[in-house]
Amino acid sequence: MTELLQTIRQYIRTPAAQLDQLASDRIQQEIAFHVGERTLDLMSDGMPPDEARLAALKRFGDVDQVVQQCRQETQGGLALLHRIHLAVTALLAVSVAGLFAFFLIDRQSHRSVATLPAAITSLIDNDWSGDVAGDVQDSHGNPIAGATVIVSVKAWPDESFNMRSYRTTTGQQGRFTLSGVTPQRDYYEVNVVALMDGWEMQSQYVTQTTGGQRAPLRFTLEPATRCLVHFKDESGRPLSGVQVRLKDRIASSGEEHFLYPGGARHVTLVSDDAGRISAPWFKTGDRVALGCRYRQEDWQTVTCSITAPTINVCLTDGAFVVSKE
């Protein structure tokens, strides 16, 4: 430590000290020459060398004082300027360090002010590397490729509720995998829907109390009944442009299948010019709930039983009503 301080001190002094030393050396050389010349002159007048040397020195005066005066004249205020320069540089360095420290502390304080809610922190801190995987097949065990799979993951971080939904399709082998969608450490629930035209819509709702990975899911789908939904207005004219979304299906056996689309891209059907949509995901005897909207009105839930190949829905006074016919 002492050595370091000494090195720093030397470094600070070096330019001024070097200048000083150089000036002193040159002035002394100059004076030595002068005294030497005077000594030679006195010797040539017959004075013994030692005496001549002393006389020359005496005549010159105080050598040290002259050196000091010459040095001051040569350097002028350079040494002082050098020290002022060093002081200003040091001040600037300290200021920059101070500003840096200030911004660092300021940034940290802002971070603490902007602390995220515990629920969000808990959500972020969790390890969301769990997968949801499975396959979709028919009752004969044949894979169904191209089926839409909508996965909704529910979690309750720090007593709050969070649900995120994802959408994918099955591959040639009827398999699907959604990676990095479930938490590894917390309780969560997953609703998985398999949807394929011509096949009954199915969902599976599973819970995972300990977090982590769960076994692959298997969907075995039965063929759906051909079903058309026909939208009309009060005058019996077809309503085109009605948007329809599947919400849930209760099979005749009582099995319930729900779809929680959440933020995932929904499966939305739109009625054609004849006011018709094909809804090929149900079986006769099912009770289904559909989300319906005409133009930009609010979504309404239309519940109906699949008893006939065509279901007629009439828009009366802004409300969708299933016709009995």
Partner 1 sequence: MGKSDKAALLQGTLDMLILKALQSGSLHGYQITRWLERTSRSALIVEEGSLYPALHRMERKGWVTSEWGKSESNRRAKYYQLTQLGRAQLAVEHEAWNSLSNAIGLIMKFARLR
| Residue ranges binding partner 1 (CB under 8 A) | 26-27, 29-31, 33-34, 36-38, 40, 59-63, 65-66, 69-70, 72-74, 76
Q: Determine the Cα–Cα distance for residues 153 and 261; give it in Å rounded to an integer.
A: 10
Residue type, 237: R
Nearest approach, Cβ of residue 84 and partner 1 (Å): 19
Helix (H, G, I), strand (E, B) or coil at 240: coil
> What token pair was written down for 58?
């005496």
Comparing CB distances to partner 1, the nearer of 12 and 40 is 40
Nearest approach, Cβ of residue 105 and partner 1 (Å): 49
Comparing CB distances to partner 1, the nearer of 69 and 139 is 69
Nearest approach, Cβ of residue 76 and partner 1 (Å): 6
Q: What is the dihedral of CA 43, 47, 49, 55, to 10 degrees?
A: -100
Nearest approach, Cβ of residue 72 and partner 1 (Å): 8
Comparing CB distances to partner 1, the nearer of 65 and 115 is 65
Comparing CB distances to partner 1, the nearer of 81 and 96 is 81
Nearest approach, Cβ of residue 44 and partner 1 (Å): 11
Q: Determine the Cα–Cα distance for residues 289 and 281; give it in Å rounded to an integer.
A: 12
Sheet hosting strand 188-195, strand order edge to edge:
162-169, 148-155, 188-195, 202-208
DSSP 8-state secondary structure symbol assigned to residue 53: H
Comparing CB distances to partner 1, the nearer of 47 and 120 is 47
Q: What is the phi/psi pair of residue 83, to 5°?
A: -70, -35
Q: Which residues contact 101 (CB under 8 A, 6 or more apart)?
A: none
